[in-house]
Structure 1
Amino acid sequence: MNSDGKAADSSRQPAVDGEPISELQMAAHRNSPQPDPACLYGLIGDVAQAGSEGTETNAYAIAANFMGYLSCAVGRGVYLPVGNTWHHPRLFCLHIGRSGRGRKGDALSLVLRIDQALRELNDSFAPQIHRGGLSSREGLVALMHDGYRQGRQEIPAIEDKRLWVVESEFANVLHQGRREGNTLSASLRDCWDGVCLKPATKSNRLYASYPHVCLSGAISPSELTGLMTARDLTNGFANRFLMIWAERSQILPFPKATPQATVDSLARRILDVLAFVGSDRHDQRDRLRMDLSAQAQWHYAQLYRGELHEDLGSELVSAMLERRAPMLLRLAMLFALTDLQLRVDVHHIDAAMVWMRYSTASVRYVFVSAAEEAKMAQTIELANRVLAFLQARGKA
């Protein structure tokens, strides 16, 4: 049922390589995801609320963009070891919303103002920002290269590998990925993993070691479902993004600007976080080890064995959310750092988990039709009943 009490049309549904749904159908096919207010944790919540107060901009969209920015500014100085993998707080965020209603550009405005205020306080703590649109692996590497020779001239290396990519038209990235021979998608996967970007061909000697790339993208649901290929869904590209559905929170013909005093105050608090981790020491990686408290370890283990790996009832949804566990850890790291501590506590895990639930609901909303959602819920319920029966009887 839609908001008018009428039956939603489920005959057409999101398609990956077929016909994308219209944005009108997306609005009506069922209730949109409602994030938990607990998402707005600490400093991240303060930034989000400052940007949404007196405006149409969705606070959770501001928060997601700010988390992308802050995760980049923190850099590779802090790490959390899990087995043989060292995680850095590096995030790719994708804001999904209908054209004109997502207020996708507005969700970035305050973050960019805060960045400017941070640069005025101390430019060495602010990361490089690229807003020009990415087109190739070579173009991405050129933004953080390790130096190269151009004729007789030696081009010096870019020492600061922190790069916040802002893709206001994320459809551009998906278009580039469809071009024959284009390796941008693979390069972004490597960046999320923190892998060194080596030359794609023998003739191109441009490379970048130890990149710290974070990305904030925005796209409409019809573009996302129409342009994302089956390959994007199965090769791990899509599941590296924290996808959230967010649209304007209210209608205001004359929104208010966030006071400059508020922007400056937030910038000073961010500077405290970046000074705490020493993010201006660009050449010093993996200096500060983060760990989970004993309680946080137990809590994360319960989530890992349960909700983070539960059957979502759809191969598509499961594939797109396959990296929820490492993403949760990265978010929890970021929340702990905003509290100026290297220990991840239970409340940091909880704040990260509500973001994962929000992302799960958003992916289902965009990629699964209302009819499929009902069928999926019924299947999961039946499976849980069978499991409960077997646990009670031991065998059957």
Structure 2
Amino acid sequence: MSSDFNILADAADDESLDNHRNAPRPDPACLYGLVGDVARAGSETTEANPYAVAANFIAFMSCAVGRGPYMPVGNTWHHTRMFMLHIGRSGRGRKGDAVSLLRRIEHALEALSKDASPQVHSGGLSSREGLVYLIHDGYTEGKEEVPAILDKRLLVIESEFANVLHQGRREGNTLSAALRDGWDGVSMRPATKSNRLWATDPHIAMIGAVTPSELLGLMASRELKNGFANRFLMFWAERTKMLAFPRATRQEDVDALAQRVLEVLQFCQAERWADKDHMRVELSQDARKRYEVLYYGELNDNSAGERITALIERRAPMLLRLAMLFALCDKTATVEVHHINAALAWVRYSVESVKFIFASAADEVKAAETTETAQAILAFLAERGQATRSELSKDCFKGHKTKAILDAAIDELLACNPPQIVVETVARPKGATGTPIKIYKPAAKSAKCAKREEPLGFAGDSVVRTDSETCETSPDGDTSFRTVRTVREAPDAAQARTNAHSSLVSHISQSTFEMVAATSAVEGF
């Protein structure tokens, strides 16, 4: 007993030095329905990670269903396209094994129906022109007219994703911009006057594989700022067991899975790849309530710090795309709560993976302390009404918070969407010397509300504006321009909920969120 006590005492003394953590542990809820059945079939007798098998299959299905199924969000129609990025150490990630069953299912599906399976490209990408060439609208070569590729469904398997990052570093290379367009679904126009290749209404999904060292070494800051990186659902996955003699999945099981895939694609009418937006997918009333709670909470939580937040910025649209795909795999056009929950499991898995790869354990400890400090400031200002920075330091924290942590917490509260506090500059009394005094107040109680940043994500919870970030194509069929996301003005009730449910309150219990959602009227997206 004494030795156990000594161990605990030593651990407490050395707690500040022990910042180790576990690798991301996905929730079994990720393996929902058909996706889960494929994952188990591909991993039971091999060393492939079941979640990696599932992720690859998700990308395949998100491509195969095509642009027929759509979900209306505001004034844009959204489809299922997913970019999945498998991250694992060389040799231990078993990234190739995770794709093997998918290729077998694809071949079996093609044997059942030539129109069901999308085009699969695994030869590597080098440029925007090369990508567009795979799904081009036709072009003239000399006197010869090259006919268009009518089926715009394209699954790109980039087993060496480092190649894509390398290409993005080349002067004048626009591959990363083309991939952003592909995720958004906007038509790809020529990048130069001399190039006349273009592709209208592309439907591109992607499977990438990379080691953590390659990703960290090659991911430039511009990939974080221009939205390239956060279009990928990144996940950490390595082998979960060792088998000296792995066995292939039985062919009869592959054929059975291919038949189920075909039934899903027939439900989606995927063979009508020339027709777009012919199957409307909507959330059930309960699913809308569930999504609303998540949207005002963890889907817009920015407490992990600026770098991590930039990498997980598209949690909301990814969740909706995944939920829509899970519903379609159940052969229904109605997204239910269990589809939202399965999609949420993937989003959380990706968030934890991004934190594990891009932030050290010490970074996470610092981010947690910053968030805790911010919550304490909110509570103090709610009671006091206002305070200077000096008063926050002395009266709220008794001088026990460092300047760096206090400033980081204040910045986090000011940068929330919407801001949780505002800062006002007040002149010193007449005759007094020194710089003006800054006073911090809760945002809701300030008569001079600070200029608010627009909320993130898909939900229309702010005034009408046009975002500079490209999204999906317009439903009117005009593909001449890169369309942008439009967000509608929310009623006062929705805005009040936004003020109440900041990115910080994602740390409140789920039961509290659900109680709020149950008593709130759902205003739509």
Displacement of 1:389 after TM fit? 5.3
1:122 aligns to what? 113
Match for 1:236 among 227, 231, 251? 227
Given that 1:10 and 1:369 are in contact with CA atoms closer than 8 Å, whether structure 2 keeps it comes out as no
**Structure 2: how far apart are the matches of 1:295 and 1:254?**
47
Distance 1:37 1:394, change over 3 A: farther
Letter in 1 for 2:106: D
Given that 1:313 and 1:379 are in contact with CA atoms closer than 8 Å, whether structure 2 keeps it comes out as no
2:128 aligns to what? 137
- How many residue pairs align between the two structures? 374
Match for 1:250 among 241, 264, 283? 241
Q: Name segments (4+ residues, structure 1) moved above 2 Å.
A: 7-11, 381-391, 393-396
**Structure 1: how far apart are the matches of 2:376 and 2:30?**
31
Asked if 1:89 is matched to 2:86, the reply is: no
Displacement of 1:9 after TM fit? 12
1:36 aligns to what? 27
**Structure 1: how far apart are the matches of 2:112 and 2:15?**
52
Letter in 2 for 1:82: V
Match for 2:330 among 322, 339, 360? 339
1:159 aligns to what? 150
2:194 aligns to what? 203
Given that 1:8 and 1:29 are in contact with CA atoms closer than 8 Å, whether structure 2 keeps it comes out as no
Displacement of 1:84 after TM fit? 1.3
Write out aligned runs for 1:1-396 (5 A): 30-388=21-379, 393=383, 395=385
SS for the counterpart of 1:163 is strand
Given that 1:90 and 1:214 are in contact with CA atoms closer than 8 Å, whether structure 2 keeps it comes out as yes
Alignment deviations for residues 87-131 of structure 1 (CA, whole Å, 9 cap, x no partner): 100000000000000000000000000000000111110000000
Displacement of 1:340 after TM fit? 0.3
TM-score (norm 2): 0.69
Distance 1:377 1:200, change over 3 A: same
Letter in 2 for 1:130: H
**Structure 2: how far apart are the matches of 1:365 and 1:254?**
31
Q: CA RMSD in A?
A: 1.8
Letter in 1 for 2:117: A
**Structure 2: how far apart are the matches of 1:267 and 1:312?**
42
Alignment deviations for residues 174-229 of structure 1 (CA, whole Å, 9 cap, x no partner): 00000000000000000000000001111111110000000000000000000000
2:396 aligns to what? none
Pair member with larger Rg: 2
**Structure 2: how far apart are the matches of 1:177 and 1:312?**
30
TM-score (norm 1): 0.92
SS for the counterpart of 2:95 is coil
Displacement of 1:388 after TM fit? 4.8
**Structure 2: how far apart are the matches of 1:364 and 1:317?**
7
Displacement of 1:382 after TM fit? 2.5
Residue ranges of structure 1 left out of the alignment (5+ in a row): 12-27
Given that 1:296 and 1:349 are in contact with CA atoms closer than 8 Å, whether structure 2 keeps it comes out as yes
Displacement of 1:350 after TM fit? 0.7
Alignment deviations for residues 42-90 of structure 1 (CA, whole Å, 9 cap, x no partner): 0000000110102111000000000000100000001001101211000
Alignment deviations for residues 276-312 of structure 1 (CA, whole Å, 9 cap, x no partner): 0111112100111111111111111110011101123
**Structure 1: how far apart are the matches of 2:121 and 2:23?**
31
SS for the counterpart of 1:123 is coil
Residue ranges of structure 2 left out of the alignment (5+ in a row): 1-10, 387-525
**Structure 1: how far apart are the matches of 2:349 and 2:147?**
43
Alignment deviations for residues 207-252 of structure 1 (CA, whole Å, 9 cap, x no partner): 1000000000000000000000000011000000000000001011
**Structure 2: how far apart are the matches of 1:355 and 1:313?**
18
Displacement of 1:386 after TM fit? 3.5
Given that 1:8 and 1:30 are in contact with CA atoms closer than 8 Å, whether structure 2 keeps it comes out as no
Task: Give me the identity figure in percent.
Answer: 62
